[in-house]
Structure formats: structure tokens, C-alpha cells
A and B are shown apart, each in its own frame.
Chain A
Amino acid sequence: MSVEEAIKTAPAPVRATPEPARPDKRNRAWDEAPRWQIYLPLGIYLLFTLIPFYWILLFSLRPAGSTSLVPWPVTFDHFEKVWTDRSFGTYFANSVLVGVATLLMTTLVALAGGYALARFDFRIKRGFMLALLCSQFVPGALLLVPLFEIFAELRMINSLGSVILAETVFQLPLSMILISNFIKNVPYSLEEAAWVDGCNRMTAFRIVVLPLLRPGLIAVGSFAFVHSWNHFLFALMFLNNQDKQTIPVGLNSLMSADSVDLGALAAGGIIAAVPVVIVFAFIQKWLITGFSAGAVKG
């Protein structure tokens, strides 16, 4: 069997086979229940979750001093103020750079490490896995001073590289565990078939395994991006110059010791949330598939 045939005939490793429809009690209840009994509670729940977002939108779009419950007349003054006067344009660009670089580095290293964990047996493998798990219990704040000293030695204080490195390091353990589970779900025989066809290990991995890992890569990558996008502590501590700051630090600086511009804060919050919402809207399907599949032990 050639590699292509093997891929075609191989079971999809990460998608569960749909269960055959059976007229059980649950299905009957769904069919018989009036639609309002389903949609009303869902609607109320949706309303409950969306009200805080509406409140932020309201404050960001209505003029300062307005107490109206609808954003009318609409003003974009708050957005203009935070984007230009409060340097959110710069913060946004820095956050994008940190997020994308963390995503790339985390995914790349997790892929290599995850492959090793999934496909090779070595003496300290169990201990290594345990160490990866345990590292999740160490809060970032605890390592702040050692990390600061290391970056100072490397002359990386006040450089976005320090934040990217720190974020990547903290993302890696979970990402490696997730990726290794994905790789375990890909039948080893597929790779063996590729070797028989003349591929080396790297080529077989790239053309056979990698395409099947798409949900996992999207899950891990998006998780790394969103986490680094929202993370505050490392950017606050390792960066000084205003032109190096990221969005979370910028948001924090909108609140002074005894005064706060709620309109600007809300506009900053919307600017911070939009990329994350867009990312999730596009990858939602892959993300859910990815996390559920990665959670299953291979």
C-alpha cells in the first residue's frame, strides 16, 4: 500500500465516528418539547453573558458624562483618544508581535518535543512527563526575579524578546503534552508506510503526520496566542519603554491612583478583545475538535 492510499484508508484519528441515530428518550424529548422551552433558557443565558460586553460597548461609544442606556449619539472619541493619545496603536502592534512570535515558537518546539514523547521510548520519559505536568503548578510570579536576572544577563530587559521567550517557556509544557497526545492518535503504520516509500523520518512526519495534526496545531497555537495576548505580568516587569509596552499594560495604565476615564478604559477593552474574538470565531470548530481529541489518551 502506498503512502497516499494508506492516508486515504486510515481512520481519521481525531474525529469521533458519528453515532448512529437511535430513537432514545433524549431524542424524543427534544422532538416533543416546545421550542420556547429550549430557546428561552438559552436566550436568557446568552443575555446574561452578553450584558457585560454590552456595558463595555456602551461606555466606549457614548459621550463622556452621558447616562443613556443606548450608545446614541455614537462617538468614537474614546477610541481615537486611546489609539493616538494613549499609544494603543503601538501597544497593539507590540501585542501582535508578541502573540504571533509566541504562537510560532510554541507550536514549533511543542511539535518537536511532542513527537519525541509520542514516538520514542527513553529512560526518563515518565519522569519528564511528570516534570512537565508539575511545572504547570509553578506560578509565573514566583519565577519573576530569577527570570529578570537571566534576561538582565542576556541584556534582554526592555526587549520584546524577553516577553516572547518567557511566554513560550510557560506555554510549552501543556502544549507538548497536548501535541504528543495528538501524535499518538495518528497510526504509526502511516509513517512506516511512508518510510517504505522512501521518505526519511522528517519527510514522513511533514507529509503524513503534520496534515492530520491540524486541529491540534490550531488548538495549541491559538491557546499560545490568546494567553500571550492577555498576559500582563511579564510585559509589566521586563519592559520599560512606553513604545515597547503591550495592550494589557496599556489597559492598566488607564487607571490612575484616584481617577479613571471609563470611556477610554472601555474603548481600550474593546480594542483588546476584538482580535481574540476574531481568532476564536475563525478557529472555533478546530479548537473544540482539537481540545477534545487531545484530551484522549492515545
Chain B
Amino acid sequence: MKISKSRNRHAVTAVALGAVLALTATACGDDGSGAGGDKGAEGSGKGKIVFWDNNGGVRTEIWKEIIADFEKAHPDIDVEYVGIASTEYQSKVDTALQGGGLPDVGGVGSAMIAGFAAQGALEPLDERLAGSSLGGKLNKDMVESLKAAGGGDDKLYSIPTSANNGVLYYRTDLFEKAGLQEPTTWDRFYEAADKLTNKGRNEFGYTIRGGAGSIAQALDAMYGQSGITSFWDSSGEKTTVDDPKNVAALEKYAALYKKVTPAADLNNDFTKMVAQWDSGTIGMLNHNLGSYQDHVKALGVDKFRGIPQPTGPGGKRVQVSNPVDGLGLFKSGKNKEAAWKFIEFATSEAENSKFNEAAGQVPSNTDAAQDAWISKAEPTKLAADALSDGSTTIVQLPYYLPDWNTISKADNEPNFQKVLLGKMSAKEFLNTMAEQLNTAQEEWNQQHG
């Protein structure tokens, strides 16, 4: 048998070369510098900055437009955009905090601000804002909301870009057909949910959120009906979630499950809930401004409306706070001056208006909030009015508690499913949650004097 040694060598060399080339071709990365402990630098106000979008993908296009505008206005600054899906943003920042690679600017909403600030990752922005043209032009409630959600040191770590708000979407065609009035009060809401249900024809009055994100929605319905306007009692140490009025409200709300909702709602996260409402014959849906465009795509503008939450006792509307989104400056950044210019630019009237029109949210810039597009996007206009005309009382959720995300998600979502299934009483559920909240608040009070 003839053995070709040269063929053998060629084969081995080719495979090795292939592997080396593959790695070489894909290399040329960077060192991802900028970890949690870095103090960073002001920089020259020129050069490159990195921006991490905390809701990348869907909003990539509008951010790229804003970045193009910025680079045109500041030709000596180059912005590198990194879009990160909202579900993965926290873990990506946490990894960068430990291993390096933090950006100069990043999306920092009220739900995440406490965690990042506690790790010393964010630069306080009060002084920069005071000396900026933005001073006095940002919605005060949003600024206060982000300040309150921070680390408890009364500092502002994120400049608000937009606010979301709870919306009750209802099918105008189904309401008209059934001769129902629009669900502006909780009584009308329950009446409509009942009358629009015909299980035999697979028609339901409402879809309830039983899966991921169920707690915030349940709290919204609960406080909205009870009319209690504060999350904590007058001492500031005990939560009001287990107040008898809230217990009664939750009992009534949870009783809707399977009576006027599909049985599959038990596992509803927002994706399933919205998809179900958009493609089915369900009368009402509670979600926020973010899904408005999905409904328009699925149903058109004539078949539904999105209105603020129903009013409760005495015609008062009470709702829980929705997360405010914003832009934070990471302390480890090496070019903070340029990064701050970008934040200022992105929250200026024109750009903030452009961003919120695309996102369907309430602008943080008070001038942008007067723009014409707002009156064309009805749910956004109604939400903006409700948030600013004094008709609505907001119950501020304790985003500042480091345990809030755990308490409002992993710890209690399974229990809420038990409430829906009738395996746990509303009182027992709320007592458990109140106990966890009171403990977390006590710890927080101890740490912050």
C-alpha cells in the first residue's frame, strides 16, 4: 500500500490553518474596559462614546436616527449604539460591572436604578442638570420618581426620557354591539366583563395577567378600586397592601378568572395576553402604552380605544406608578463630557418628541409633551393628561427597595396563581407579601438611618 506523507501533512496543515484563520478573522475585538470600581474621567468632550439601549431591538431604528442627528450636531463625537433586549439588560450590566466593559451612557429606568446606584456604577447628575439648558424643562414628577427610585441618597442618577402608563384597552365594536357604556368606572368595568362573556362561543369580557408581571397589574387593580393613595401607612414602616379594602378589591378582581376570562390566562405574560386580545374576541385588556402600536396593527384604529384606568370610589382615579425610563451616565466612562452632551441632546425637545412618538410613550421634556402628534395618539394623550391634570393619584411603588424585584416577581407570582385557582385566599396572599415588604422596608430604613 502506498502512503502519501505529503497529503497527510497537507490535510493536517489545512485543518489547523482553517481553525487559526477562523479565529483570526473573527478576532480584533476590544478589551471591554470600564468596570464597576473605575472612577472614569471627564475626557475632552470629543471622540467615541458607547451607548447601551435598555430596550434594544424594537427601538433600535429611532435611536439610530437620534444618534445620526447628534453626530451631525457634534461632528467630533462618535456614538456607538448597542441595543440590548430589555429582558437581558440587567444581567449584561451586572456582568460588565464585575468584568469590565460598561458603556459611557446607558438606559436606566426606575426598576433598575437602585441596584446600579447601590453598586456605585452611576454618576449623580444633579449638578450637571442644574447647569444645563434642560433645567426646568423636564417633567418634575418624572424627575422626582427617578430620584425616589435611586439609592435613597436623594440624588438623581438618571435623566428621564419617557413615562409609561397603565391603559385599559377595550373593543369599541363589541361594546357598541352589547349596548355598553365605556368602562370609565370600576362598576362599568365589571358589568362589561360580565356581559361580554359567552363561554360557549369562546367570547370573554376580559383577559387577566396570571403569569410574569402579574403582581404590578393586580396591585393597580387593587389600589384603583380601594382608593388607598399610599403604599405605606403614615409611619412609613407598614405597607398598605394588606389593608382590608385592598383585600376585598383583590378578591373581587381575582374572581374574574375563568368567570369572564379564558382559563389559559393563568400563565399569561404580556406577550400572550396582548396576542390573545389582538387576535380574539375579548372585550378588555389592561396593559400599558407600549402595546398600542401592536393593537393598531392587529385591529386598526376604529375597533378599540385605550383609556386611563377606571375611576374608583368618589370618582377618584388611583393607580400605581409605572416605570419611568431614562438615561444614566456610568461612572467608569472615560469621556463623561461627551456622554453628558449626548444625554442632553437625546432629551431635548425635538429628539425627545421624536423618540416618544415612535415609542408611544409620554415625553419627559415638557415642550415635547405639547407637540401635535400627542393629540393624534389618543392613549398617550389621555395618559399624559391623566398624569398632569391632577385627576389621578399615583401610588408610588417601592422601586428603591433592593428586594422589590424579587418580592414583586419570583416570590409572589406563583402565589397569585394560587389565588386565581382558589388555592390561596387573597388575604393570605397579601399578608405574605406585606410581611416581606415590611421586612425589606425595615432593612432599608436601618441602612439609610
Contacts and interface: CB of A to CB of B under 8 A. Distances in A.
How many chain B residues sit at the interface, stated as a range, is: 35 or more
B137 interface: no
A266 B280 CA distance: 19
Interface in B278-316: 278-280, 287-291, 293-294, 297-300
Say whether chain B's binding surface is mostly helix, strand, loop, or mixed: helix
Given A2-B1, A236-B92, A256-B86, A159 B27 contact: yes
Interface stretch (B56-64, B183-191, B234-242, B385-393): B56-64
Contacts of B56: 253
Contact of B29 (A157, A202, A255): A157
A254 B88 CA distance: 12
Interface in B1-38: 1, 3, 5, 8, 11-12, 15-16, 18-19, 22-33
A67 B87 CA distance: 28
Interface in A165-209: 165, 197-199, 202-203, 206-207
Given A149-B100, A157-B32, A159-B29, A257 B290 contact: yes
B80 interface: yes
Contacts of A162: 29
Interface stretch (A101-109, A211-219, A222-230, A283-291): A101-109
Interface string A144-175: 11101101110111111110110000000000
Nearest to A252: B85
B263 interface: no
B113 to A, nearest CB: 15
A199 B26 CA distance: 37
A77 to B, nearest CB: 11
Interface in A251-284: 252-262
Given A108-B15, A256-B58, A256-B59, A237 B294 contact: no
A237 B92 contact: yes
B439 interface: no
B22 A164 contact: yes
Interface residues of A, number: 57
Interface string B304-338: 00000000000000000000000000000000000
Contact of A258 (B85, B100, B291): B291
Given A97-B22, A152-B100, A206 B11 contact: yes
Contacts of B85: 249, 252-253, 255-256
A240 interface: yes
Among A146, A149, A252, A256, max chain B CB count under 10 A is at A256
Contacts of B255: none
Interface in A1-51: 2-4
A240 B1 CA distance: 54
B365 to A, nearest CB: 21
A151 B29 contact: yes
Among A156, A207, A237, A259, max chain B CB count under 10 A is at A259
Contacts of B399: none
Interface stretch (B267-275, B342-350, B374-382, B414-422): B267-275
A101 B22 contact: yes
A70 interface: no
Among A86, A97, A152, A236, max chain B CB count under 10 A is at A152
B364 interface: no
B438 interface: no
A169 B96 CA distance: 22
Given A161-B23, A242-B83, A256-B290, A203 B55 contact: no
B22 A104 contact: yes
Contacts of B275: 260, 262
Interface of B: 1, 3, 5, 8, 11-12, 15-16, 18-19, 22-33, 50, 55-61, 80-88, 91-92, 95-96, 98-101, 164, 270-271, 274-275, 278-280, 287-291, 293-294, 297-300
